[in-house]
Amino acid sequence: MSTLPTDSVDEVRAVDLPGHGDNPHGNVSICDMADALVAQYGTAVYVGYSFGARVALHIATRHPEKVTGLVMVSGSPGIADPNERHARAQADDQLADHIESVAVPTFIDEWLANPLFIGLNTATAMRTDRLRNTTKGLADSLRHAGTGRQESLWDYLSSVYCPTLLVTGEQDAKFCDIATKMSGLLPNCRWVSVADAGHTVHLEQPTQFVHLLTSWLKSTYVV
């Protein structure tokens, strides 16, 4: 996840979310993550991919006065149906148990074999960087901030008035469908589906993604 301070959108601050990278303490709720990020980074354009996109959307709904722009890459407002959300929470708990049983290297290989990441190759999969994660951090993150644990934000989208950019890969049917629905609810939204890309659109088509992001920033803000 990244933040771009409004006084200089050329400045990017990359953040290791709780349970990931050099921030191994994953026993933090997604709401508490949002509050902590705002307390540390203040007013900014908040940019997030997947899990980071969910956190960024929580920031926009909980602290709208601090969000001058929102970029969600392959993101979701969560699961609207309570029964489905409960089932996902159970699945997240089971996956957390599995991570603890096999440890990070094996889990990372299993994770990257998921069809969701079929567009990645050896270089773009960034396996070495993913190995910075800890077993406990990833497991705790799933248990405290997985999709099954977060409140659905679908009903809050109409109140997110900041400029919003949604980015998906056109081969990622599930998240393109989510973005279609989100773009119809967000008041100030642009949605772009990137060709020849799946869920990890920013890694599969990095040049196109950076151009898209910078073009949106330039058209939305004085830079």
Q: Sketch the domain layout of the chain as residue ranges.
A: 2-82+142-220
CATH topology for the 2-82+142-220 domain = Rossmann fold (3.40.50)
Q: For residue 206, is pLDDT > 80?
A: yes
Cα–Cα distance between 153 and 186 in angstroms, integer? 12
What's the chain's Rg over C-alpha atoms?
Answer: 17
Under 8 Å between Cβ of 52 and 34 = no
CA dist 117 to 48, 81, 112, 121, 185, Å?
Answer: 17, 26, 6, 9, 28
- The stretch 199-207 carries a mean pLDDT of 97
Q: Which residue type sits at 36?
A: A
Q: Where does the chain have alpha helices with state H? A: 30-41, 51-62, 82-102, 104-112, 127-130, 135-145, 173-183, 201-204, 206-220
Residue range 111-144, pLDDT digits in tens: 999 999 999 999 999 999 999 999 999 999 999 9
Q: For residue 9, is pLDDT > 80?
A: no
Quote the pTM value. Answer: 0.94
Cα–Cα distance between 31 and 28 in angstroms, integer? 8
